[in-house]
Amino acid sequence: MQSVRPPAVAGTFYPDDPSELSTMLRAFLAEAQPPPLRPKALIAPHAGYIYSGAIAASAYALLRPLRASIKRVVLLGPVHRVWTPGLALPGVEAFETPLGRVLLDQDAIAAIDGLDQVQVHPAAHAQEHSLEVQLPFLQSVLDDFTLVPLAVGGAGPNAVAEVLEVLWGGAETLIVVSSDLSHFLPYDQAQHVDRATVHEILRCNGHLVGEQACGCHPINGLLLAAHKRSLVPHLLDLRNSGDTAGDRNRVVGYAAIAFTEASLENPHVQ
């Protein structure tokens, strides 16, 4: 079994040079000015950094005051290349990026490995970008943390929410769902569609479909869990590739959304 999952999209979705990558991330994070929230969960986009990096940074900048307290990240993203019926684990000990290695939380993985909807499926992770592109951001804003990476295929909301419930933890655990919004619509139409999608997310209405968000399955599971836990959603940023680095004829939508526990909305509250 391969012990380390190497980067698959370094040099394409983001720089493969560590110095260049760090400089880019610092610039994105410096520009981000999110409100003072303490997130339990985040939704962040996963396109190439020139397109969605600024939007993702508005979510990850929230973690800077929590650098030392978040010790585990449960990261879920959709599969784009190899289908998996439920939630796939990679079967490795670590993920690697140009910024270094992130160890997987083997105890947490063992806690969900017996669930019917969870399988070890390395092929679902091998070329998948939705999880990978989140890691350099996490490495930039957190100190030492372990990872539970789950590539989500056809899992329904209840199946995803059950996994999240097992892994929920306390303040040491952050949940991140990786998703873009609409794909390849004209700019004005995409704005309309994406505003409607975000409206549903902010209502914790977990009935999204793929045309609204490629990560609809992990989002729907998160929304079910968030509703059960009475989390409060906050829209941080909503733009598309026509706003950042692409033309406006065919755009991809991006949102950054934080979910907080009602009593812990200030990052300085312990």
Give the residue numbers spanning the domain of 160. 40-261
Q: Please give the pLDDT value at position 21.
A: 98
DSSP 47-69: S-HHHHHHHHHHHHGGGGGGTTT
Checking if the pLDDT of 269 tops 50, the result is: no
Q: Does 182 reside within a domain?
A: yes
Provide the number of structural domains found in the chain: 1
Q: Retrieve residue 137's tokens.
A: 């951001």
Question: Does 251 fall in a domain?
Answer: yes
pLDDT in tens, 138-177: 999 999 999 999 999 999 999 999 999 999 999 999 999 9
Tell me what the pLDDT averaged over the chain comes to.
96
Residue 34 within a domain: no
Please provide the DSSP assignment of 88-119 as one string: EE---SEEEETTEEEEB-HHHHHHHTTSTTEE
Find tokens 């952050």 and name the residue. 174
Question: Does residue 183 surpass a pLDDT of 80?
Answer: yes
Residue 267 lies in a domain: no
| Total residues belonging to the chain | 270
Give the CATH number of the domain where residue 75 resides.
3.40.830.10
For residue 19, being part of any structural domain is answered with no
Q: Is residue 118 part of a domain?
A: yes
pLDDT at 4: 98
Is the model's pLDDT at 1 over the cut of 80?
no
Q: Please report the pLDDT score of residue 264 as a whole number.
A: 55
Q: How far apart are CA 5 and CA 225, in angstroms?
A: 29
pLDDT of 23 reads: 98
Q: Contact 212/149 with Cβ under 8 angstroms?
A: no
Mean local confidence (pLDDT), 132-140:
98
CA distance linking residue 155 with residue 121, whole number of Å: 14
For 32-60, what is the mean pLDDT? Answer: 97
Number of Cβ within a 10 Å radius of residue 119: 16
Give mean pLDDT, residues 42-47.
98
**Token match 């957190």: residue?**
142
DSSP assignment of 210-223? TTT-TTHHHHHHHH
Q: Would you say residue 268 has pLDDT above 80?
A: no
Does 253 map to a domain? yes
Cβ atoms of 256 and 55 closer than 8 Å: yes
Closest-CA residue to 246 (of 55, 32, 59):
55
Tell whether 31 is covered by a domain: no
Residue 141 CB contacts under 8 Å (≥ 6 apart), including other chains? 29, 60, 61, 63, 64, 67
Distances (CA, A) of 69 to 73, 185, 226: 11, 40, 21
% of the chain beyond a pLDDT of 90: 96
Amino acid at 229: R
Determine the average pLDDT of the residues in 62-72.
Answer: 97
pLDDT in tens, 207-254: 999 999 999 999 999 999 999 999 999 999 999 999 999 899 999 999
pLDDT at site 267: 43
Say if strands 118-120 and 4-5 run parallel, antiparallel, or are unpaired: unpaired
- The arithmetic mean of pLDDT across residues 68-82, rounded, is 98
Please report which helix (H) or strand (E) contains residue 130, including its range.
Answer: helix 129-132
pTM of the predicted model as reported, rounded to 2 decimal places: 0.96
Percent of the chain with pLDDT over 70: 96
* Average of per-residue pLDDT across 4-15: 98
Pairing of strands 72-78, 39-44: unpaired
